[in-house]
Structures are given as C-alpha cells and as structure tokens.
C-alpha cells in the first residue's frame, strides 16, 4: 500500500488575487455567462456600484454615470473620492476599506472589504482613478496584478471615483451583459435612493416615490384591485396591493441590497400582512387566501446586517442595533400592525376590496379542493409507474448553495416526443440535469383558471415535477429549460408552454428561472473538422472555413441529434436564451396577442421568427464543393 507523503511542501499560501481566482464562487456566487440575472458579471457590477451608492447615502454626490459597451464597464461617481494615498490598497488588499468604522458608514452593504478586490482579481483589465480636491491618482491592473501606479497629478475634475473593468473571459466564458438585467438592477438602486440620478448608456433613471414607483413599474396597474398601499417609517418602507395574477410577488431589500432570496425581513412581512388583516376583519382567514395574488415590496435599513452568503441575497436572523433592540421580525411585525391597520381604518374602499379578494380566493380554493386531491393522487401514481420524468440526483434552490454547489445548479429540460427526450436523457448529466417528456402539444390554457391545471394530466404532472403547486419557494430546479424543435410545431409548443407559465406561474419567469434551449440547426464537416451552426450565417462561415468538400446536415428535430453530440450542447457549451419580462411588459396583453383569437398574426409570428426560412431547409444531408478561399478573405 503506497503512502502519500504529507510534508511542508504540501502547505501552500495563496496571495489575495490567487485565492479569489481559484475560488471565485466564495466571493461572487456562480459564474455563468450573463444569461441569468444572478450570474457573476452582475455581482461584479453590483460590488462597484454599492460603493458609489454608499457615498450618496452619506450625502456625497447626486448622480452616478454608468457605461457598458462590448463587455467594458465604466462607473463614475461624484462622492468624496478614495483617499489618494490608499487608492491601490483599497482595490488590492483584502480587509482594507472605509466601512469598518460604523460612524462612517452605519448602514452600508459593502462592509467586508472584499468587493472591489474581487472585481479587480476577476478582471482582465481593471482601472481605478480617484479625484480629490484638485488632485487625481490612477492605478491599473491585469487579473489583480498592478501594471500602472501613476503619480499624483493635478485635475479640474469634480471629486469622486472612477472604476473601469473588463471581466476575464477565461473565467466568465462567452459572457455578455444583458441590458434588461442591468437596467433592472439599476432601477432598484434608483427606487431605494429617491432623488439619485443614474445615467446608464444615455438613459437617466430616477425615482421620486421609492417603492411605490417600483410596484407601479413592475406591475400592470390596471390589474391591481386597489391603489398601492405605501407606508414609510424610520428605517423601513413597504408597498403592497393585490392583483388579478396567480401567485405572490415580492421585492425585498436590506440597506439597498436586493435580497432576491428574501430572509427574515420578507418572512416577517408576509406573516405581518396575514396577522394584521385577520385582526382587522376579526376573521381567522387561511394564510393562503390572504397571500394569494399579493404584490409587495419591503426595504429596511439595519446596522451591520448579517447575510447568509457572500453575495448577500438572503438576510439571516438578527436583532436591530443597538443592543437590546427588537429582532428584525418584531420590528417589521410591529410596524405593519400599527401602520397598515391605521391605513385600512382610514381607507374603507381599499379595506372592502381586500376583503372581497380574500373571500374570492377562499371560494376558489374550496371549489378545486376535490379536483386537486384527485389530481395529486394521480400525480403520485404517475411518478411511480410513468417515465415522463427522468429526474436528476441533486436538487438545489439558489438560496441553499455552498461555494462548490454553485457548479451543480440543477436544470430540467422540457421536451416533446420520445426521440428527443431519449437523446437528452442519454446525453445529460444525471447529477444535475432532469428531463420531462411531454405527450403531444400541451393545452392552450390562455384565459383559463387554475382549475384546468389539475384537470389536465400533462400540466398537472409538469407542475408536480417542478414542485410549484404552492408557489416557487419549493422549485426543485434552478433552470427550467424549454427544449423544442426549431420548426413551426416546435415554436408552437414553446408558445403553449410559455402561456402555461405566464398564466399560472408568472413569478417563475420574473425571477429568471425560465430559459429556451438553443440547439444547432446544421452540422458542417469534412474529414478533419466539424462545425455546429446555429444560424444560416454560421453555416456559410463554416463552409468557407472548410474550403473544400463540406458535408452539411440539417437537424430537422432534436431527436436527430445523437446523444454524443447532445452531450456537448447541454454541457459546458450550452446556449440558453433567458425568457425576460421587461418592467413594461403586460402579461395579459402579451398572451392575448400570441395566444388569443388572432390566428393569422400568431401564425405569421411563428414563421417570421424561425431561425431559417422554411424553403431553405434541405431535406437530407448534402455535399457541396467550394473553391479554395484565401485565409484573408475568410
């Protein structure tokens, strides 16, 4: 039996940048390519902006300029500027910063002294420039290694800090910033800092009414059952209403940080609403009937908040400062109990509308109770005797990930037909990738009530596979991927599935869990090289690269792609298009146009949006010959 030697040579010390680059998940969560709103490149952006926001909160500077182009980010604030003698240390020395003294920054997000250092270490180029009292200091880095340490120079620029960086594409592979995600991130900063002007790529984002503006922008006001209730107090602000949509929708913040996974404050908010309404109406309502269709937002400010992860997306249990102050839960509960109760006493029309909504939810819940029970029993049987779901072994939700588990984000592919699901099943990673096989086209459920979900076997089994019957809190997969053929039938199935999710589970889409799988349309190869092409243009480029005989295969369906080939398309090189709803998107209008009684328009949409015109699709593999093309012309 061989013995492994354990000596001094086995002990290694990493400097700050090496450790960050070796274990980036510890600092920014998952890496990703920008297709998910919690991917690492958005965390890099946040870490820099947080410092600028903290300056504004402390009364320094009224605007922030942000420009992103071709992956290069430029952020300029007009705060006090980093002290010139500490510019290099502040972006390259761990545990160095100006926020450890609570007097200087009592309710700041960036307290750990790591943020901009992580951005520096994970960027192929990083520049920091401070403007302070007529002088400026510049330092530049590559992957955390300093390359320029300029001397102090005179300047006429106003005080503030400029950060410029380009994320390292050897770490963030094939990444790109999606403007929808960036704008959503920046709007949240604007809502939580009334009066702050954020200039982003030529647009100005500014809010006057905080969370009231947030809910008005995030929801279709016409679908709200009563005017938004907006309550503010010292270190707390809330807004809420009921809408006509299914599910609950919340936005929560701590010290300006968007806590996408909620935490103590959000749990207390939901609990407080139920308790306050029960007491106001003197009725012991089922909490589900109260919470159904709520849209709400809460923002609190606390000293030295305790988060459950480095990326600060979930607030832990803690007391308010100073010592002996109430817990976060008590603080939120007491505020709602007093202020929401007072509001309802003063606004009878709103109180009556809330009561009607609760009673309606109660009637609907009781109406489908028996149907639901039978459907649940059928779903359990199907899980035992049916092979519709080829499950994976690891199920994780975003709020339960450790550093290494970020690499195991689970995915479920929803596909149609035995051949496609068979190829996917054979090619998948059994640890983290599941496959759900549809039988034929799903029901067009536009305009129907949730009762139809339990009556339709396919839809019922799908919601059980995802475990979203009672909302997305128990969602079993991080990514829900629609995988259909790139033809008219495939596009139709895609629209039907989108309708199902938008109609009954809109929060699944709004929280960035729904994606479309991008699969190659062509294989272009010769005896030495093979190219998989996702468009007609890529096909032509591949033909030119081969210069001679080229065998071109058009994949007419997912089932025609072999498992060996599929393994690459759903592995490291997977291409996913996120389903993104902008703040201005009205779900009702969207579904009405694409799934309502306007068949010609819908048919034209499907045909016009295919990746390739139908008359261009070769029916079989073809071989063409090209004259050799000089490399320069290619």
| 18-41 per-position pLDDT tens digit | 878 888 877 787 788 888 888 889
Average pLDDT of every residue of the chain: 81
Checking if the pLDDT of 49 tops 80, the result is: yes
The answer to whether 124 touches 166, Cβ cutoff 8 Å, is yes
Question: Of the ranges 282-291, 339-348, 380-389, 493-502, which one carries the lowest mean pLDDT score?
Answer: 380-389
DSSP string covering 127-146, please? EEEEEETTEEEEEEEETTEE
17-205 — its CATH code?
Answer: 3.30.565.10
- Percent of the chain with pLDDT strictly greater than 70: 81
Question: Of the ranges 201-205, 375-379, 467-471, 611-615, which one carries the lowest mean pLDDT score?
Answer: 611-615
Distance CA 321, CA 255 (A): 14
Distance CA 355, CA 181 (A): 36
Q: What SS3 class is residue 473?
A: helix
Tokens for 200, please give them: 């982003």
Beta strands of 274-397 (E only): which ranges?
A: 294-300, 389-390
Tokens for 276, please give them: 């306050």
Distance CA 550, CA 536 (A): 15
375-519+557-596 — its CATH code?
Answer: 3.40.50.670
| SS3 sequence of 330-349 | HHHHHHHHHHHHHHHHHCHH
Domain limits of the chain?
A: 17-205, 211-367, 375-519+557-596, 520-554+612-634
| Phi then psi dihedrals of residue 72, to 5 deg | -90, 125
- For 322-350, letters b (16+ CB in 10 Å) and e give eeeeeebbebbbebbeebbeebbeeeeeb
- Owner of token pair 């072994």: 393
- Percent of the chain with pLDDT strictly greater than 90: 32
Around 171, how many Cα atoms within 13 Å sit in the side-chain half-sphere?
26
- Owner of token pair 């900063």: 189
Which span out of 345-359, 384-398, 468-482 was modeled with the highest average pLDDT? 345-359
Averaged pLDDT for residues 628-634: 33
Averaged pLDDT for residues 228-238: 93
Distance CA 172, CA 436 (A): 29
Give residue 2's pLDDT.
Answer: 53
Q: What angle do CA 542, 543, 549 make, to 5 degrees?
A: 135
Q: How many CB atoms lie within 10 A of CB 193?
A: 18
Closest to 486 measured CA to CA, from 618, 609, 321: 609
Which is it for strands 514-518 and 479-482: parallel, antiparallel or unpaired? parallel
First to last CA, the chain: 58
The answer to whether 388 touches 422, Cβ cutoff 8 Å, is no
User: What does the radius of gyration of the chain's CA atoms come to, in whole angstroms?
Assistant: 27
Length of the chain: 634
DSSP string covering 409-472, please? --EEEEEESHHHHHHHHHHS-TTTEEEEEE-SSPP--TT--THHHHHSHHHHHHHHHHT-TT-G
Instruction: Kindly state the helix (H) or strand (E) to which residue 624 belongs, with its residue range.
Output: strand 622-625
Question: Of the ranges 2-11, 46-55, 248-257, which one carries the lowest mean pLDDT score?
Answer: 2-11
Torsion of CA 602, 178, 219, 458, to 10 degrees: 50
| 70-98 per-position pLDDT tens digit | 999 999 999 999 999 888 888 887 755 55
Tokens for 183, please give them: 């704008």
| Phi then psi dihedrals of residue 564, to 5 deg | -60, -40
Closest to 227 measured CA to CA, from 326, 344, 378: 344
Tokens for 592, please give them: 């009405």
Checking if the pLDDT of 453 tops 60, the result is: yes
Averaged pLDDT for residues 300-319: 69
| 206-226 per-position pLDDT tens digit | 999 999 999 988 887 788 999
| 546-569 per-position pLDDT tens digit | 887 888 888 877 777 788 878 877
Same fold, 17-205 and 211-367: no
Instruction: Kindly state the helix (H) or strand (E) to which residue 253 belongs, with its residue range.
Output: strand 249-254
User: How far from 214 is each of 137, 239, 582, CA to CA, in Å?
Assistant: 38, 9, 13
* C-alpha 370 chain-centroid distance: 36
Question: Of the ranges 48-62, 401-415, 521-535, 611-625, which one carries the lowest mean pLDDT score?
Answer: 611-625
| 168-192 per-position pLDDT tens digit | 998 988 899 998 889 989 999 999 9
| Phi then psi dihedrals of residue 65, to 5 deg | -105, 130
Band of residue 342 on the pLDDT scale cut at 50, 70, 90: very high
Band of residue 102 on the pLDDT scale cut at 50, 70, 90: very low
Averaged pLDDT for residues 10-20: 67
Q: How many CB atoms lie within 10 A of CB 11?
A: 7
User: How far from 485 is each of 7, 124, 441, CA to CA, in Å?
Assistant: 57, 38, 12
Distance CA 532, CA 538 (A): 8
Around 196, how many Cα atoms within 13 Å sit in the side-chain half-sphere?
29
Closest to 58 measured CA to CA, from 227, 255, 222: 255
Torsion of CA 367, 296, 259, 502, to 10 degrees: 50
Checking if the pLDDT of 194 tops 90, the result is: no
Domain 211-367 has CATH 3.30.230.10: yes
Distance CA 620, CA 515 (A): 30
């Amino acid at each position: 039996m061989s013995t492994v030697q354990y000596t001094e040579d086995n002990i290694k010390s990493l400097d700050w940048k090496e450790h960050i680059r070796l274990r980036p998940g510890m600092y920014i969560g998952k890496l990703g390519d920008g297709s998910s709103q919690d991917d690492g490149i958005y965390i890099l952006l946040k870490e820099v902006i947080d410092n600028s926001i903290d300056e504004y909160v402390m009364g320094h500077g009224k605007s922030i300029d942000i420009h992103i182009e071709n992956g290069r980010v430029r952020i300029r604030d007009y705060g006090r500027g980093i002290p010139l003698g500490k510019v290099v240390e502040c972006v390259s020395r761990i545990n160095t910063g100006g926020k450890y003294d609570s007097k200087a920054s009592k309710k700041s997000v960036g307290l750990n002294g790591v943020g901009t250092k992580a951005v520096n270490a994970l960027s192929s180029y990083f520049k920091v420039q401070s403007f302070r009292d007529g002088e400026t200091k510049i330092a530049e880095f590559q992957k955390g290694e300093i390359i320029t340490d300029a001397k102090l120079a005179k300047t006429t620029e106003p005080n503030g800090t400029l950060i410029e960086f380009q994320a390292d594409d050897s770490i963030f592979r094939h990444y790109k910033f999606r403007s929808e995600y960036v704008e959503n991130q920046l709007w949240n900063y604007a809502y939580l800092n009334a009066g702050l002007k954020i200039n982003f790529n030529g647009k100005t984002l500014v809010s006057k009414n905080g969370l009231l503006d947030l809910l008005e922008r995030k929801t279709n006001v016409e679908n709200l059952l009563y005017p938004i209730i907006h309550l503010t107090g010292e270190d707390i602000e809330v807004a809420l209403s009921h809408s006509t949509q299914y599910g609950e929708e919340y936005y929560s913040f701590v010290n300006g940080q968007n806590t996408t996974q909620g935490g103590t404050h959000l749990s207390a908010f939901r609990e407080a609403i139920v308790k306050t309404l029960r007491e106001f109406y003197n009725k012991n309502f089922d909490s589900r009937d109260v919470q159904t269709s709520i849209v709400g937002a809460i923002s609190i400010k606390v000293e030295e908040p305790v988060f459950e992860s480095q990326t600060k997306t979930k607030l832990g249990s803690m007391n308010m400062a100073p010592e002996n102050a109430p817990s976060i839960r008590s603080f939120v509960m007491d505020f709602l109990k007093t202020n929401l109760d007072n509001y309802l006493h003063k606004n009878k029309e709103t109180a009556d509308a809330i009561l009607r909504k609760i009673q309606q939810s109660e009637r609907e819940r009781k109406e489908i109770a028996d149907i639901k029970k039978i459907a649940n029993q059928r779903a359990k049987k199907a899980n035992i005797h049916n092979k519709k779901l080829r499950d994976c072994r690891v199920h994780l939700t975003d709020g339960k990930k450790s550093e290494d588990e970020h690499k195991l984000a689970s995915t479920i592919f929803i596909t149609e037909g035995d051949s496609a699901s068979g190829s996917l099943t054979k090619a998948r990673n059994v640890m983290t990738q599941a496959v759900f096989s549809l039988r034929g086209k799903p029901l067009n459920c536009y305009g129907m009530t949730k009762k139809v979900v339990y009556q339709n076997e396919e839809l019922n089994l799908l919601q059980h596979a995802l475990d979203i019957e009672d909302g997305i809190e128990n969602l079993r997969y991080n990514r829900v991927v629609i995988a259909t053929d790139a033809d008219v039938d495939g596009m139709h199935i895609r629209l039907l599935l989108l309708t199902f999710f938008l109609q009954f589970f809109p929060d699944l889409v709004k929280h960035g869990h729904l994606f479309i799988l991008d699969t190659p349309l062509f294989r272009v190869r010769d005896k030495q090289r093979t190219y998989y092409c996702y468009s007609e243009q890529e096909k032509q480029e591949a033909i030119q690269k081969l210069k001679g005989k080229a065998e071109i295969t058009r994949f007419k369906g997912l089932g025609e792609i072999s498992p060996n080939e599929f393994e690459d398309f759903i592995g490291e090189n997977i291409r996913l298009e996120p389903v993104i709803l902008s703040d201005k998107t009205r779900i009702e209008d969207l579904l009405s146009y694409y799934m309502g009684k306007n068949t010609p328009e819908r048919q034209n949409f499907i045909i016009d949006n295919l990746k390739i015109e139908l008359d261009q699709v070769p029916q079989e593999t073809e071989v063409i010959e090209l004259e050799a093309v000089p490399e320069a012309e290619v």
